[in-house]
Chain A
């Protein structure tokens, strides 16, 4: 009984708490990273005043958001207006419950060390051998990929509802754009993921990584096209330049969050960056071998194992995030119809052809 309690309640709660805390911090510093990087791309310094090289800037920003006046436009639909930011933020966090940060059994030693002080060794072993307790993830479900896709599709609703509830024309246009855009790109993204699933033969993210380990190759080397598709569609799904049409500040002022301010705005803001991290984590897990070092089975690269798995994972996520920011510093924005054209007439056919090609290769 107590073992089950520990396995299914205590440890997951600790992990969830840790992820929420770490993720919030990561998001906060992702914004700083973005500001600094873009600033340096644009030959300026970025935030410098708060803390050393602006290191405390995110905290100051957070405080500012929280302390600002909470404004609900008088003609807005107050209930939905309030709900929308939460609808978009919560799924962004929920997704992380299935993302494997590290291999199963990652916390084995740690758990054993702590628990052996309180429990007898048999039950300690029972707990430790359970992957949910000792793995580097909150949970490992056998439909994890579908779970990620479906939960993140809920997040779209927040954007749409927020745009509608503001009762203002720019947000409405932003919401219209985002609903069309996100649905369109989700299709191509799904196909990009399917071609990975063909190889992995599982919907569990942990197992997909393990398959890459067994194969000795990251799927990136087998299916680079699918990776880029996922990345591009991910940019579209997270409203990043060059696909940031729902919020295109120079056209729609602020798009769906034009009427939002203060705390509610910060929720949208957090959600956007959380989604960025989600997409990066998904791309890393599916294509870059998750927690694996490069070429995990090549013996003379064994020294790479010195770096712990979690660090590998985080490094790779960071690299992809860096790419996101870099693109933002470089490219102009698409127009709406061009965006849809690309989605339906370029990415979708490529993704479809890709799936068919790889399915054919597999069948032979």
Chain B
């Protein structure tokens, strides 16, 4: 992997280059100003804000219930998980209890969402590095999950999944069978991806030793989620500060060792498998009863501040909600995991080649909707 010195043999002046905001591999409208020495990255500056919609400010002028659909649109890849985090906070402030069936179904859908999100990540990451076929394979599986979403929520992407106090309605008939069918097939499919990638020499050459960050440094940069765990730090909110009933399920938190792109890749692949296990446990133990608890028509939390942190597919997603006792939040501050994670990009890409920038952006799994809000 120490080929960088050689590749700098024939270079001259620093070339400044704009990657994005319209570029196939910046996953939206990220713009990176690269300073290149030949093909080696000397410096990288992220320029964000092209997708800024002021969601936090809009929230201040909406009632708590009206806010929810906006959070579908921050991280649109993991809309379910985003809404979930906000609602957990609101319910905690109001002291609303969600019935057990509701809680279980919520966890199931969030984990489905995690799988779907990781599939999308794998698809784009693979095609960034040039493996076209994995892209479409991943979309095939994601499609199944989106169909489940459609059956339950009536929408595929911006699902407006949950309501204060639980779900809008119970599972539709046939949902469980469909879910079981998907879960049974899924491991073989993941093996298929791994066949194409995990032991592929080119893939290893492109990901091992790229964008290495130690656990300590990862914490300092505020990385969370798979990028943190890829560096070997055992920190998963579902285990560290269980919420919403996660403590009732058994699952492992996959960890990497070297903190490189490959480890983050392996961690995410393994996380998909673990999510599947959680869903299977949920389906096995799914109790009867209502899916929605008692909740007032107008949500007026008592004045105060509350922080709700959940483990979204991308890392720690935090909602810091300030209430002044009215029906509208006084302030909602979102802690988007990849907004924080993106700042490490400069540190990660320095000294690598231009092609690695693509791999590293991919490995951070950014969603610009979330970064810019």
Chain A, residues 316-330, CB within 8 Å of chain B (1/0): the string is 000000000000111
- CB-contact partner of A333 in B17, B18, B129, B353, under 8 A: B129
Contacts of B39 in A (CB 8 A): 173, 177, 336-337
Q: Is the CB of A41 within 8 A of B24?
A: no
Contacts of A329 in B (CB 8 A): 132-133
Q: Is the CB of B202 within 8 A of A337?
A: no
Main SS of chain A's interface residues? helix
Name the residue on B nearest A252 (C-beta): B354
8 Å CB interface, A187-243 against B: 241-242
How many A-B contacts at CB < 8 Å in the complex? 92
Q: Is the CB of A173 within 8 A of B354?
A: yes
A332 within 8 A of B: yes
B136 within 8 A of A: yes
Contacts of B206 in A (CB 8 A): 332-335, 338
Q: Kindly state the separation between the CA atoms of A38 and B128 in the bound complex, as whole angstroms.
A: 17
B47 within 8 A of A: no
Chain A, residues 246-261, CB within 8 Å of chain B (1/0): the string is 0011110100000000
A363 within 8 A of B: no
Q: Kindly state the separation between the CA atoms of A110 and B27 in the bound complex, as whole angstroms.
A: 60
Which stretch, B3-11, B63-71, B319-327, touches the partner chain A?
Answer: B3-11
8 Å CB interface, B174-217 against A: 196-197, 200, 202-203, 205-206
Name the residue on A nearest B356 (C-beta): A335
Contacts of A244 in B (CB 8 A): 130
Main SS of chain B's interface residues? helix
8 Å CB interface, B336-355 against A: 353-355
Q: Kindly state the separation between the CA atoms of A247 and B274 in the bound complex, as whole angstroms.
A: 38
B358 within 8 A of A: yes
Contacts of A173 in B (CB 8 A): 17, 39, 354
Report the interface size for chain B: residues with CB under 8 A from the other chain: 35
- CB-contact partner of A42 in B17, B18, B136, B354, under 8 A: B136
A43 within 8 A of B: yes
Q: Is the CB of B132 within 8 A of A250?
A: no
Q: Is the CB of B23 within 8 A of A335?
A: no
Q: Kindly state the separation between the CA atoms of A166 and B18 in the bound complex, as whole angstroms.
A: 16
> Whole-angstrom distance from the CB of A343 to the nearest CB of chain B?
12
Contacts of B266 in A (CB 8 A): none
8 Å CB interface, B16-50 against A: 17-18, 23-25, 39
B92 within 8 A of A: no
Contacts of A253 in B (CB 8 A): 23-24
Q: Kindly state the separation between the CA atoms of A249 and B126 in the bound complex, as whole angstroms.
A: 13
Q: Kindly state the separation between the CA atoms of A333 and B197 in the bound complex, as whole angstroms.
A: 12
Task: Knowing A169-B15, A335-B353 are in contact, say whether A328-B132 is a contact too (CB < 8 A).
Answer: yes
Q: Is the CB of A336 within 8 A of B355?
A: yes
Q: Is the CB of B24 within 8 A of A249?
A: yes
Q: Is the CB of B15 within 8 A of A340?
A: no
Q: Kindly state the separation between the CA atoms of A50 and B191 in the bound complex, as whole angstroms.
A: 36
- CB-contact partner of A241 in B130, B205, B353, under 8 A: B130
Q: A173-B39, A335-B356 are in contact. List 16 more A-B contacts (CB 8 A).
A: A38-B132, A42-B132, A42-B135, A242-B202, A250-B25, A250-B127, A251-B25, A251-B355, A330-B133, A331-B130, A331-B131, A331-B200, A335-B353, A336-B353, A337-B6, A338-B205
**Sample (16) of A-B pairs whose CB atoms are under 8 Å apart:** A42-B132, A42-B133, A173-B17, A241-B132, A250-B25, A251-B25, A330-B131, A332-B197, A333-B130, A334-B205, A335-B353, A335-B355, A335-B356, A336-B354, A341-B3, A341-B6
